[in-house]
Structure formats: structure tokens, C-alpha cells
Amino acid sequence: MSVNRTLCRRFARILNGTPSISNGVCTVSRLRHINVRIFGRRTRSPLVLPQLYSFENRDRRGRALNLGETVILQEEINPYITRLRQGGITVTALHNHWLFENPRLFYIHYQSVEDPIRFARKVARANRVLKR
């Protein structure tokens, strides 16, 4: 089963993001609202503040490879990872992208193979620990 627009839009609605389909991959993007400065300059760049999610190519059981990346503040890391793990989502990386940013930002990557809607609901639950 391939990605369809209706499913991609539903996935995006749950994650409160903007959907797009390219090369058979549903991608959802949104930006966090964090007041951040790099080299003392305010930035709203999508390179700095992204939340990105995707799924593609569901199998006969409706399962897909689901991927996520979220910019995260240091104090949000442990609660966020806890929520992801409670949902059976595998955390694959936690690292920084930038130097001289304030506040300190990290980027967390995670993945699962399951129904994309289940993944989206689990991630939306994890997102509730993020500061607005």
C-alpha cells in the first residue's frame, strides 16, 4: 500500500503540521516557537526550529517506517524521551546542530514501524511535554 493524500493529511492534523507528499513519502513539518539567538541574533529559521515527521510505503498490515526529528530544549529531553519510549518508539539520536545558540538546543531523532496514525498519536502525546 502506498501513501495516499487523505492519510497524509490525517497524519499532519494529529501532529498539527503541514503535509506534503514527494517521491511516495508523506512529510509533515512545523516550527517550534522558541525565542533563540545564534551569535546573538534572533532566528526563526526552519533549520533551527523544525519538527519533522514522515512515513512511507505501508505494508499489507498497514505498517510503515515512521521517522521523526524535533528540536528540543535541554530540560525537555528526559520527559520527551520517556513519553516516546512509553509508546514503543525507538530514540536513535540526540545531538546539537549549532554553536553559540541561546538557549541551548538539541535535536532528537526517533523511529518506529507501525500504523502511521498510531505513531502520530504517540508523538503528539510526547509533544505535550514541550514548552509552548
pTM attached to this predicted model: 0.94
Note whether residue 25 is domain-resident: yes
Cα 27 from chain centre: 10
Asked whether 10 and 117 are in contact (CB, 8 A), the reply is yes
Largest CA distance in the chain: 51
Dihedral sign (CA 132, 95, 28, 62): negative
What tens digit of pLDDT does each residue of 85-107 get?
Answer: 999 999 999 999 999 999 999 99
Note whether residue 10 is domain-resident: yes
Residues 107 and 81: their CA atoms lie apart, in Å, by 12
Please report the pLDDT score of residue 57 as a whole number: 87
Please report the pLDDT score of residue 101 as a whole number: 96
- Phi, psi at 94, each rounded to 5°: -145, 120
> Domain range for residue 41?
5-127
Note whether residue 37 is domain-resident: yes
Please report the pLDDT score of residue 1 as a whole number: 47
Note whether residue 132 is domain-resident: no
